[in-house]
Amino acid sequence: MFSSNRSEFGPNFVFGAATAAYQIEGGQTGGRGPSIWDTFSATPGNVKNGDTGAVACDHYHRWPEDLDLIRDGGFDGYRFSFAWPRLIPDGTGAVNQAGLDFYDRLIDGMLARGIKPFATLYHWDLPSALQDQGGWMNRDIANWFADYAALVARNFGDRLHATATINEPWCVAFLSHFLGKHAPGHRDVRAAARAMHHVLFAHGTAIGALRAEGAKNLGIVTNLQKCEPASDKPEDQQASDLFDGIFNRWYLDGLYKGQYPADIVKLFAPHLPRGFESDMEVVSAPLDWAGINYYSRSLLRHDPANPGFPAKAVDGPLEKTDIGWEIYPQGLTELLVRVSRDYTKVPLYVTENGMAEVEGADDPRRVGYYDDHLKAVRAAQEQGADVRGYFAWSLLDNYEWAEGYDKRFGIVHVDYATQQRTPKSSYRAFQGLLHNKR
Ligand code: IFM
């Protein structure tokens, strides 16, 4: 059981559960084109156990059961993503009717169950044909993405409660083009610098295209990390500021101030696309809401071995989740308050929060994690942050990217051999909170 009451969060507060297409759908039939995750995961050494999303949770076929779970849990909203290669197999050009039909059924299925659709246009499954042309390194991606966004708006816009352009631009750009941990797996500063700008330029261009099609309630989802120095030495504080700049300020300053932070521009200057400054009005297009994904904090230490990027994340002393991330609920309060104080007054949504835990349907540690993070949301509201919703990551155990199926974030257990779904104690705790109208 959670210790909060639903009514404390405000009368129209949205409780939801979240997933993403590649992590759950499977369903590579039906005309879906290949994505960068199909090829990245097929490359030996990239993903634990060589796992791929080919079948995942088979949500492509089992979606009615999954929507029933959301309804029965008492959730108001479902945050899902469209698979770009399912709708436009080559990324541009011909549209796949079977893909349109799938999302038609899914969205109508949500509405029939009284669930608000919160859509994300891009949660990392870039059509491979676009990667062949440079993907996020190519400025043309802004138009490719805007055309895809317009297609979604024309077909589904009137039925979506809210739409986010991009999920976690830091992961799209830095994790995937500098650290090489996610598809397309580049480790190249120029590739990263280009992707860091193009992902936000594409976001802003798509916002314009969505509005032109009459779409409403538009936002973006940034993943924010609480950055703290590993000691009180000034050089560790500098390392923390640097990491905060690359992880948080680049995206928040760009989106909400229309200007990238000077220290990070300086760091990437030779590699950024020429003339990026004149795109900043598009990057900072006004939004209707802002999504924040939060999991943990990073402790930073000065790293003299790496003069170009002298910051290194070190192991922290706090209790950790099964993926090794420290449990740090107050970081969520601090980040929500920071965004609302320093960046934007639009309504905020915690679009993802949750923890990886060892396999099993009895997950008391996860119940505690959620309980503490829900209290952290209340604390942020009390300090003035206009938080209007909270989405648990994730509805189902699913494909955890480079970790394959090894790490489980679901509030519902999935037996991948049989595809049987079993609600965990954490799901029951949400059910208790959400069915109790106090
Ligand atoms: O599984 C991911 C999700 O796709 C994006 N946010 C973080 C989650 C946990 O790593």
DSSP per-residue letters across 183-200: TT----HHHHHHHHHHHH
Domain positions in the chain: 6-434
**Nearest to 19, CA basis, from 84, 72, 63, 61:** 63
Predicted TM-score (pTM) of the model is 0.98
pLDDT at 361: 98
- Point out the ligand 1 atom lying closest to the alpha carbon of residue 401: 1
Question: Across the strands, what pairs with 33?
Answer: none
Q: In Å, what is the CA distance from 21 to each residue of 55, 78, 193, 337, 408?
A: 11, 13, 27, 30, 16
Pocket of ligand 1 (CB under 6 A): 20, 23, 168, 293, 352, 393, 400, 409
pLDDT at 148: 99
pLDDT at 437: 54
Q: In Å, what is the CA distance from 140 to each residue of 39, 50, 91, 231?
A: 22, 32, 12, 44
CA 279 to chain centre: 24
Q: Say whether 81 sits in a helix, a strand or coil.
A: strand
Q: In Å, what is the CA distance from 378 to each residue of 75, 329, 436?
A: 18, 11, 18
Report the residue among 293, 325, 350, 355 best suited for mutation to probe ligand 1: largest number of ligand atoms under 8 A from its CB: 293
**pLDDT beneath 70, residues of the chain:** 437-438
Which residue has tokens 């770009």? 84
Q: Is 352 a catalytic residue?
A: yes
Which residue has tokens 């604390």? 379
Q: Which helix (H) or strand (E) holds 80?
A: strand 77-81
What is the four-CA torsion angle of 120, 124, 125, 129, rounded to 10 degrees? Answer: 120
Q: Is 228 a catalytic residue?
A: no
Task: Tell me the H-state helices in 213-296.
Answer: 234-244, 250-257, 262-268, 280-283
Tokens read off for 35: 């994505």
Residue 164 and residue 180: Cα distance in Å, rounded? Answer: 25
C-alpha 395 to ligand 1 mean position (Å) = 12
Residue 132 and residue 387: Cα distance in Å, rounded? Answer: 40
Are 187 and 179 a contacting pair, CB within 8 Å? yes
Residue 283 and residue 205: Cα distance in Å, rounded? Answer: 8
- Point out the ligand 1 atom lying closest to the alpha carbon of residue 400: 1
Tokens read off for 264: 């990070």
- pLDDT tens-digit readout, 391-406: 999 999 999 999 999 9
Total residues belonging to the chain: 438
403 φ/ψ angles, rounded to the nearest 5 degrees: -90, 0
Residue 404 and residue 419: Cα distance in Å, rounded? Answer: 16
- Point out the ligand 1 atom lying closest to the alpha carbon of residue 167: 5
CA 378 to chain centre: 22
Pairing of strands 420-423, 412-415: antiparallel
Which residue has tokens 């396999």? 359
Helix, strand, coil percent content, the chain, rounded in steps of 5: 45, 15, 35
Q: What percent of the chain has pLDDT over 90?
A: 98
C-alpha 2 to ligand 1 mean position (Å) = 23
Which residue has tokens 């509030």? 411
Q: How many CA atoms lie within 13 A of 15 on its CB side?
A: 27
What is the residue with the minimal CA distance to atom 2 of ligand 1? 400
CA 335 to chain centre: 16
Are 8 and 97 a contacting pair, CB within 8 Å? no
Are 224 and 292 a contacting pair, CB within 8 Å? yes
Q: In Å, what is the CA distance from 128 to each residue of 19, 45, 53, 90?
A: 22, 19, 15, 7
C-alpha 76 to ligand 1 mean position (Å) = 21
Of 25, 228, 334, 352, which is the active-site residue? Answer: 352
Are 19 and 80 a contacting pair, CB within 8 Å? yes
The CATH H-level superfamily of 6-434 is Glycosidases (3.20.20.80)
Helices then strands, each counted (H, E), the chain: 17, 13
